[in-house]
Structure 1
């Protein structure tokens, strides 16, 4: 029987349409496509809680899903605008539904704030392109979310904000020099969320599209010296997306199979499916 998923898009309408114009898919559509590549027998609904008047599932609707995932977003959660507060309220309802949930970047931030944590701008600056030298904590090394990850790994990432205060019932699973909370498990109201600050769902092609729309940022914040340098970096990512065996480019940018191979780059999503979603669906079937 097919797995039923709800993919919750964190972006406003204009932001997700801009992404679709550049990439061909909204972030939520892209996330759903990744889920479909991992598990063929899967059905995904999309939700847009940033939109005023959006048709969102009620408590019974949330409980009917086998899994829920939350995408990234261009929003800053500390702005506390109505489009943000609706997402925090929805996350609290997801916890109460006890449906297995997972989130990337913004998804982790929403889950943390909904459970009583805090998110602020990173005083060390933006993490963009790749989160480097991610290191599982002692608990993370044995946690199923990070099963298969080595002692140090990289992952696609783009964020300025980070979780600065973890909720009362939260366990940090991975960290690095730029963010103390790179992966975590959070429990509230009987529900459990797994999340990461990075983006295991991003292909190198999608990451390249995102960075191409942020060339001014890359230059302005000192990641690249000129627009031409940024364009060269983005071109290399596109080449690696098409030809992951290009050892010369992988060496030049310090990338290994944890990033280059889809089955390893998406490890946390796969672990969520295997360790949370499928056992939960099986338990529902027995009930």
Structure 2
């Protein structure tokens, strides 16, 4: 059996806000996907931003750590950020494979000597478009199965602006140079994406509603009513992908986003190429 530690990147207030539009926390979303991809896995959830958080299972007894997205900002610092950096650092130094999306990438890059901050090229809301491999990403197992260019769910203002020394930037697009990255620290390896391979379109829609003001301020929608109509279309497409091909066409949603097995490639690749080989060696 695999034992996977799933760390929710949000603080208590962030988790409560998330639950106003989703029926589960970010950590619960990840746990559900991980157990679908690896039926032999048991997920142990923790909220390391909280001062009273206690690991449900020792790092030495876990096979991997996964860090979710968050509404926090690494550059603002503070105890909630520091505690998460400390957990990821401890996991990597203990030799654990670590995966993170969005916030997870920003935390890993920061603790390894890089910089995460507001993206000067602007935010990505809904989908990150036309992602492609860098030279370092060609043939990298994190991106196994991806076509030459792909779209992916994305919700972020912040991003990795300066990757840490010695890291390998694996993919980018015209909005952001660091869409996927490998970071090595101690005996551990971090793989992550700025985009969200874990999010279904209904969850993307819910998170867009939370970000409505930011979407309008970024000039991506003329007003919040238009944003909610866009989110409604995403939600409806999620619930009826075969019957609402008109919505897929109108939203520009391809199979790389619409088909769960394709959307979640990076998570499966992490399990297959980093986590399972390590457990077989143990």
Q: Shift in Å at residue 18 of structure 1?
A: 1.9
Q: Shift in Å at residue 57 of structure 1?
A: 6.7
Q: Is the 8 A contact 2:21 2:206 kept in 1?
A: yes
Q: Which residue of 84, 87, 93 maps to 2:90?
A: 93
CA distance in structure 1 between the partners assigned to 2:104 and 2:205 by the alignment: 21
CA distance in structure 2 between the partners assigned to 1:62 and 1:250 by the alignment: 42
CA distance in structure 2 between the partners assigned to 1:37 and 1:57 by the alignment: 21
1:269 and 2:270 matched: no
1:187 and 2:184 matched: yes
1:52 and 2:31 matched: no
1:201 and 2:175 matched: no
Q: Shift in Å at residue 233 of structure 1?
A: 0.5
CA distance in structure 1 between the partners assigned to 2:69 and 2:278 by the alignment: 25
1:252 and 2:250 matched: yes
Q: Equivalent residue for 2:38?
A: 39
TM-score normalised by the chain length of structure 1: 0.95
Q: Is the 8 A contact 1:4 1:65 kept in 2?
A: yes
Q: Shift in Å at residue 111 of structure 1?
A: 0.6
- What does residue range 64-83 of structure 1 map to in structure 2 within 5 Å? 64-83=61-80
Q: Is the 8 A contact 1:169 1:188 kept in 2?
A: no
SS in structure 2 of the partner of residue 22 of structure 1: coil
What do you get for the CA RMSD once the two structures are aligned?
Answer: 1.3
- What does residue range 1-287 of structure 1 map to in structure 2 within 5 Å? 2-56=1-55, 61-245=58-242, 246-284=244-282
SS in structure 2 of the partner of residue 138 of structure 1: coil
TM-score normalised by the chain length of structure 2: 0.96
Q: Is the 8 A contact 1:63 1:98 kept in 2?
A: no
Q: Is the 8 A contact 1:141 1:147 kept in 2?
A: no
SS in structure 2 of the partner of residue 139 of structure 1: coil
CA distance in structure 2 between the partners assigned to 1:85 and 1:209 by the alignment: 28
Moved over 3 A (4+): none
Q: Is the 8 A contact 2:155 2:208 kept in 1?
A: no
CA distance in structure 1 between the partners assigned to 2:270 and 2:55 by the alignment: 23
Q: Shift in Å at residue 124 of structure 1?
A: 1.4
Unaligned 5+ runs, structure 2: none
How many residues matched?
A: 281
Unaligned 5+ runs, structure 1: none
SS in structure 2 of the partner of residue 228 of structure 1: helix
